[in-house]
């Protein structure tokens, strides 16, 4: 019996990976993805059929915003029944934000959506683009008994596949640009492609895909530092239309215990504004109440972001704020793992 090859849709949104350098001027211009197989013949060796879709105007990832996230989600939604997997090419600077957002947008996802990019353009001699692209397509093509092996939104970079909403960009120079500080690698590419099956997200296979397309961006991100002033905090917390704020605290969720500080947070919460506590440490988790310097936060109703990355915490906040739900339900939903983004 002839085995049907998986269909993979390659979505180019922008970024370095889709650029080639003009040999005469050394300037970068957008790669023509219609000629993808001609430029990267190695892709023809993969056991899959590849089609591509490009944004009409490529987006530098620094200009990415929720409207672009919705555009990517709608491309996946409209092609969901036709393709077995999706590879999204994206600039690395905000890739962790976009891929985290997509993980929350695509509820009941049962197919792979793999984000990748590169530090050097695809035509450069020492580029990392080819390996990242080829292996991402291969991972998106993996099947067992006719079903995709990977059933979540991931990020692949420099020989490692990560859960997207667990990633953060850690380096602007090295090829190993990303890390997943609080969750193991899902797969590693070496001589063999090793998938860590026990760490993969296990969705409900019997539920239809639901695509959430609304975000509330009336949020703020505040990083605590020794010497932060009352006037600065007051100004931030009195931002018009503010609905939620993420505070990056010290260590395991600790902060100063000055009366003015706690009172300001308490007053803010009383106005119906959600305050989320995440750690500014690269790895580790918020554990409010473990130390005296965080117990007051717990008492006044600050919500724990547990061990989420800043990128994931922001995207989850904008996602849940789009629903008009009570404080109790909001807190319960935020502190619950929706797509494997927290413990």
pLDDT, position 277: 97
Nearest to 195 by CA among 144, 156, 150: 150
pLDDT, position 36: 65
Among 13, 16, 94, 249, the active-site one is 16
pLDDT per position as a tens digit, 49-92: 999 999 988 899 999 999 999 999 999 999 999 999 999 999 99
Residue ranges, the chain, pLDDT below 70: 1-3, 32-37
* Domain 7-211: assigned CATH number: 3.40.50.1170
Asked if the domains 7-211 and 219-334 are classified in one and the same CATH topology, the answer is yes
CA atoms of 246 and 58, how far apart (whole Å): 30
Active-site residue, 16 included? yes
pTM for this predicted structure = 0.95
pLDDT, position 24: 77
Chosen CATH of 219-334 out of 3.40.710.10, 3.40.50.2020, 3.40.50.2300, 3.40.50.40: 3.40.50.40
Domain regions of the chain by residue span: 7-211, 219-334
């Amino acid at each position: 019996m002839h085995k049907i090859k998986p269909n993979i849709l390659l979505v180019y949104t922008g970024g370095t990976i889709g650029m080639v350098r003009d040999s005469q001027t050394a300037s970068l211009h957008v790669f023509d993805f219609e000629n993808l197989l001609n430029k990267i013949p190695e892709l023809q060796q993969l056991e899959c059929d590849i089609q591509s879709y490009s944004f009409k105007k490529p987006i530098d990832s620094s200009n990415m915003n929720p409207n672009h996230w919705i555009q990517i989600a709608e491309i996946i939604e409209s092609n969901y029944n036709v393709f077995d997997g999706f590879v999204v090419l994206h600039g690395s600077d905000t890739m962790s934000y976009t891929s985290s957002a997509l993980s929350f947008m695509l509820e009941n996802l049962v197919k792979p959506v793999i984000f990748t990019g590169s530090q050097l353009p695809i035509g450069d001699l020492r580029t990392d683009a080819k390996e990242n692209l080829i292996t991402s397509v291969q991972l998106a093509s993996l099947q067992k008994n006719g079903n995709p092996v990977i059933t979540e939104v991931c990020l692949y970079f420099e020989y490692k596949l990560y859960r997207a909403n667990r990633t953060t960009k850690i380096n602007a120079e090295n090829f190993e640009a990303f890390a997943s500080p609080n969750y193991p690698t899902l797969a590693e590419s070496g001589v063999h492609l090793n998938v860590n099956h026990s760490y993969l997200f296990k969705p409900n296979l019997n539920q239809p895909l639901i695509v959430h397309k609304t975000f509330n961006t009336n949020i703020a991100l505040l990083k605590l530092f020794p010497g932060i002033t009352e006037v600065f905090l007051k100004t931030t917390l009195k931002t018009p239309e503010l609905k939620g704020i993420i505070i990056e605290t010290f260590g395991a969720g600790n902060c100063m215990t000055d009366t003015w500080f706690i009172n300001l947070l308490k007053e803010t919460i009383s106005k119906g504004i959600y305050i989320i506590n995440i750690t500014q440490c690269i790895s580790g988790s918020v554990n409010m109440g473990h130390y005296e310097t965080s117990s007051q936060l717990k008492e006044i109703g600050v919500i724990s972001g547990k061990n989420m990355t800043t990128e994931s915490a922001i995207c989850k906040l904008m996602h849940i704020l789009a629903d008009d739900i009570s404080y109790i339900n909001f807190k319960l939903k935020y502190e619950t793992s929706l797509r494997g983004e927290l413990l």
